[in-house]
Every structure is written in C-alpha cells, then in structure tokens.
C-alpha cells in the first residue's frame, strides 16, 4: 500500500516517461528492502521459469508490478492514447452480454485488471461493478477520487448481509460484475487445483455465487508486455445459466479447474505479471491444513 501511494504521487506529478525513470530506483529499493516479497518472487519465478531466478529476473518482476501500478493512474485518467492495447475475446464478451442479464468477470492478481477501462475507449458501453473487500473498497475509492473524481467506480463491498443482493441487482441491470478470484478472504471453502505443476487452492466463493445467480462467467487479464503495450485477454470460463441445482457443485469445480488452467497458461505466457507477492502455493496449502 505504501508502494501504491508513492507511485501515484510520482505519476501525477511527473508524467509517464519521467515517472518510469523513477520506477527503477523504487523497484531497486523494494528488491533490496522487502525480503519477504523478494523470497515470494523468487519461489514463484523458480516455478514458472523452471530454473533458479537471477537478480535481474527478480528485478524485472518487481519492476513489472511497479509499472502496472504506475500505468493505472493513466488508465483511470482515460489517457488511452499513451498505450497500445491488443484485445482478445471482446466479441465473445459482447455475445455473453447480449443476453442482457450481465456477467461475471473473474480476474486475478495477474497483470492489470484496470486495463479493462481501455475497452471503454471505443464508446462501447461496458458498465463494470467491482466486488471486493470492504477495506479495499474504501482505499480504492479514496485513491480513485484523488486521481480522477469522475472515475469512481461502482464498488460493491463484501461483508454486508445483502452484498449478494446488490450483486444480483447490478447483473439484472446488465452490468459486468468483476472480481479477483485467486485469493481467499480467509473463511471460504477451498478447491484444490494444480498451477505451474504444484498443488494450490482456490476459493470456491466467487464461482458458487455465479452458479447460484445462474450467470455466464468470463476470465480477464491485462498482461503487461513492456514499453506501453498491454494484451487484454477475455476467455470463457463457464455458463451457469442452465445449470440445475444438483449439478451445481460439479459445474463450480469444473469452472475453477478451468480458471486454474488459464492462470497457468498466462503465467507461462507472461511470467512477470504474477502479482501475488507471497508464497501463493504454500499459503494455500497451509489454509487447507487448518480450515477455520
């Protein structure tokens, strides 16, 4: 969070090119003085690169993270002219939305979810409500308001008794409801999966919700390719529209397995875009050992 604040300040004051110069010492600082993040980065890179990572790999990983945070400021300010986007799967998304009943968009701490704003650049009318933890919701809204008061997103905070009713209402209005589905809030039941050849666990909650509300689900990531280039990918994950109650659990499991496979695929495609700077695999193994 400190990093976020520092970066926002720099981006706003100095512009993208100058801002990116400052990113280097910042990435260097975090590489040297954030040992926990460095260890997590190292463990992840070892998996994805299938070799011991070098210092320059670690640096590149942290720099990529810093760069996407930095770019968020410009995306929020609708400075799409600064970037080159390649978008994959937008037609599929349009088709799913054509039903008029909304859809769920599951992202991850992989690449930049903010890149979805780039879709609005062609006047296509995507309305996105983000579902997230109440604390994060407050922080993000404060940040958005500071950067561009008009950009304040529709954010649904979790943890209210009627959070899910709000989700349902947005979907009924034809909105996209987005969330990051790779971290567990702590009290969710977990689904064992394989990512990068190792056991991990993913929360069931996001997919259970989509199944209950009988909506289509798509995957989304905005991979940073370096320079000013992003590749935005939408992939079909599941369509719960016609899934009967008895088949629900199996369908949820299948969707999570597919989600894990997409994480695996895009991690390999753009290895430095994985932004879970903690030991994702071990942390989720520990969570299974002591289900609370």
Partner 1 sequence: MIECLNLEVTAEQIAPDAPLYGDGLGLDSIDVLEVALVVSKRYGLQLQSGSADNPHIFKSLRSLSDHIAAQRTR
Interface residue list for partner 1 (CB under 8 A): 158-169, 187, 205, 208-209, 212-213
Least distance between partner 1 and beta carbon 190 (Å): 14
List CB contacts of 93: < 8 A, sequence separation 6 or more.
103, 218, 234
Alpha-carbon span 187 to 221, nearest angstrom: 25
SS3 110: strand
Q: Which is nearer to partner 1, 120 or 157 (CB)?
A: 157
In the complex, least distance from residue 248 CB atom to partner 1, rounded to whole angstroms: 10
Give the nearer residue to partner 1 in terms of CB position, either 52 or 291: 291
Of 163 and 282, the one with the shorter C-beta distance to partner 1 is 163
- The distance of closest approach from Cβ of residue 155 to partner 1 in the complex, given in angstroms and rounded to an integer, is 14
89 conformational bin, left if phi > 0, alpha if psi -120 to 50, beta if neither: left
Please give the structure tokens belonging to residue 25.
């010492």
State the Cα–Cα distance between residues 102 and 25, nearest whole angstrom.
Answer: 43
Tell me whether residue 77 or residue 169 sits nearer to partner 1 (CB atom). Answer: 169
- Residue 157 or 192 having the CB closest to partner 1: 157
CB 44 within 8 A of CB 36: no
Cβ 103 vs Cβ 97: under 8 Å? yes
Q: In the bound complex, what is the minimum distance in angstroms from residue 225's beta carbon to partner 1?
A: 36
Nearest one of 149, 105, 71 to 237, comparing CA atoms: 105
Q: Which two tokens stand for residue 154?
A: 């529709």
- Based on CB atoms, which residue is closest to partner 1, 40 or 175? 175
Q: How far is the CB of 22 from partner 1 (least distance, A)?
A: 41
**Angstrom distance (rounded) from CA 251 to CA 242:** 11
Helix 134-147 to helix 55-76 angle, to the nearest 10 degrees?
Answer: 70
Question: What is the smallest separation between the CB atom of 160 and partner 1, expressed in angstroms?
Answer: 7
Task: Give the 3-state secondary structure of residue 204.
Answer: coil
């Amino acid at each position: 969070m400190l990093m976020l604040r520092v970066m926002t300040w720099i981006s706003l004051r100095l512009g993208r090119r100058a801002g990116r110069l400052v990113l280097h010492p910042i990435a260097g600082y975090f590489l040297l003085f954030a040992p926990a993040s460095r260890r997590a980065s190292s463990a992840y890179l070892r998996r994805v690169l299938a070799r011991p990572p070098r210092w320059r790999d670690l640096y590149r990983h942290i720099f990529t993270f810093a760069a996407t945070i930095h770019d968020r400021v410009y995306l929020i300010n609708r400075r799409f002219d600064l970037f080159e986007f390649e978008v994959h799967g937008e037609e599929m998304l349009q088709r799913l939305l054509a039903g008029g009943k909304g859809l769920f968009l599951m992202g991850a701490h992989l690449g930049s979810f903010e890149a979805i704003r780039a879709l609005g650049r062609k006047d296509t009318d995507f309305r996105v409500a983000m579902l997230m933890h109440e604390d994060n919701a407050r922080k993000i809204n404060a940040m958005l308001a500071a950067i561009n008061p008009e950009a304040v997103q529709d954010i649904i905070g979790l943890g209210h008794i009627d959070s899910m009713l709000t989700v349902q209402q947005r979907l009924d209005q034809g909105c996209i409801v987005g969330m990051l589905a790779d971290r567990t809030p702590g009290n969710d039941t977990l689904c064992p999966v394989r990512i990068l050849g190792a056991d991990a666990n993913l929360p069931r909650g996001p997919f259970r919700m989509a199944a209950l509300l009988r909506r289509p689900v798509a995957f989304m990531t905005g991979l940073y390719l370096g320079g000013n280039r992003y590749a935005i990918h939408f992939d079909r994950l599941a369509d719960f529209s016609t899934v009967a109650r008895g088949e629900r659990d199996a369908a949820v499991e299948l969707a999570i397995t597919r989600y894990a496979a997409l994480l695996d695929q895009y991690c390999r495609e753009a290895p430095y875009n994985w932004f879970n700077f903690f030991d994702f695999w071990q942390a989720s193994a520990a969570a299974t050992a002591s289900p609370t």
